């Protein structure tokens, strides 16, 4: 794994999901707490940044009237609309302050669908930076991450899914996604396993030097 060709793609690390008072936070809280997701996200981000990897945020946002969803949203989109969550230019749609975000990180605008590649310039940005490997983390394990994972797999990226740095609505839904679905489209690993593998690849390629240099 070449750190300079690797990106951490972070999905929806926003207040409505990750912060007390967030409109969807209570639904994710059991998974967030059981797997220490916020702490592991920051460990992933900090470790990847030290190795010279690209950090990319892909928040999801909607107009106040949720026009992006059409006239009759259903499924997860209906859940978001009914909760009044993730509205543009509100506290709920902002990247949560518990996340270690830097000015050097890239934020992809325009995500209003489940797949982070759909309707955004994510693929262009990754290829412009020479990225061939991506690690996915954030929300929701079995929805936006899984959809983005499938697209990335089809686009030819080498895809890692960071198991302990993602969350969803319900512990069982989390388990089924990570254990049964992710292995079809990614290499599921913990944040520690990913960072250790990346560091090992770096050392093997350039003994005595840092991949981030």
How sure is the predictor about 211, in pLDDT bands with cuts at 50, 70 and 90? low
Q: Return the CA Rg of the chain.
A: 16
CA 189 – CA 96 distance, rounded (Å): 24
pLDDT(8) > 90: yes
pLDDT tens per residue, range 55-113 = 999 999 999 999 999 999 999 999 999 999 999 999 999 999 999 999 999 999 999 99
**Residue with more model confidence, 7 or 205:** 7
pLDDT (0 to 100) of residue 212: 46
Average pLDDT over residues 123-145: 98
pLDDT (0 to 100) of residue 209: 43
pLDDT tens per residue, range 145-201 = 999 999 999 999 999 999 999 999 999 999 999 999 999 999 999 999 999 999 887
8 Å CB contact between 59 and 13 = yes
8 Å CB contact between 110 and 93 = no
8 Å CB contact between 3 and 51 = yes
Task: Give whole-number Cα distances, 148 to 185, 186, 203, in Å.
Answer: 10, 11, 30
pLDDT (0 to 100) of residue 200: 84
Average pLDDT over residues 118-124: 97
pLDDT(11) > 70: yes
pLDDT(121) > 70: yes
Helix, strand, coil shares of the chain as percentages rounded to 5?
A: 45, 20, 40
Please give the DSSP secondary-structure letter assigned to residue 54: E
- The three-state secondary structure class of 167 is strand
Predicted TM-score (pTM) of the model is 0.92
Please give the DSSP secondary-structure letter assigned to residue 96: P
pLDDT (0 to 100) of residue 203: 54
Average pLDDT over residues 12-36: 97
Three-state secondary structure of the chain: CCHHHEEEEEECCEHHHHCCCCCCHHHHHHHHHHCCHHHHHHHHHHHHHHCCCEEEEECECECCCCHHHCCCCCCHHHHHHHHCCCECCCHHHCECCCCCCCCCCEECCCECCCCCCCCCCHHHHHHHCCCCEEEEEEECCCCHHHHHHHHHHHCCCEEEEEEEEEECCCHHHHHHHHHHHHHHHCEEECHHHHHHHHHHHHHHHCCCCCCCC
Q: How many C-beta atoms surround the C-beta of residue 34 within 10 A?
A: 12
């Amino acid at each position: 794994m070449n750190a300079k060709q690797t990106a951490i793609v972070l999905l929806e690390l926003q207040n409505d999901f990750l912060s007390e008072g967030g409109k969807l936070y209570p639904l994710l809280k059991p998974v967030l707490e059981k797997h220490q997701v916020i702490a592991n996200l920051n460990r992933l981000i900090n470790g990847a940044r030290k190795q010279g990897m690209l950090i990319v945020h892909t928040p999801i946002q909607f107009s106040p009237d949720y026009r992006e969803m059409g006239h009759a949203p259903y499924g997860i989109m209906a859940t978001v609309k009914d909760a009044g969550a993730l509205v543009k230019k509100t506290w709920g749609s902002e990247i949560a302050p518990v996340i270690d975000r830097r000015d050097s990180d890239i934020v992809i605008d325009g995500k209003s669908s489940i797949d982070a590649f759909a309707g955004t310039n994510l693929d262009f940005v990754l290829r412009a930076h020479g990225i061939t490997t991506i690690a996915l983390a954030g929300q929701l394990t079995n929805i936006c991450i899984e959809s983005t994972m499938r697209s990335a797999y089809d686009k030819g990226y080498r895809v890692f899914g960071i198991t302990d740095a993602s969350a969803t609505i319900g512990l069982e839904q989390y388990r089924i996604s990570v254990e049964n679905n992710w292995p079809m489209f990614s290499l599921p690993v913990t944040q520690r396993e990913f960072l250790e593998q990346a560091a090992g690849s770096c050392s093997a390629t350039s003994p005595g030097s840092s991949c981030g240099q």
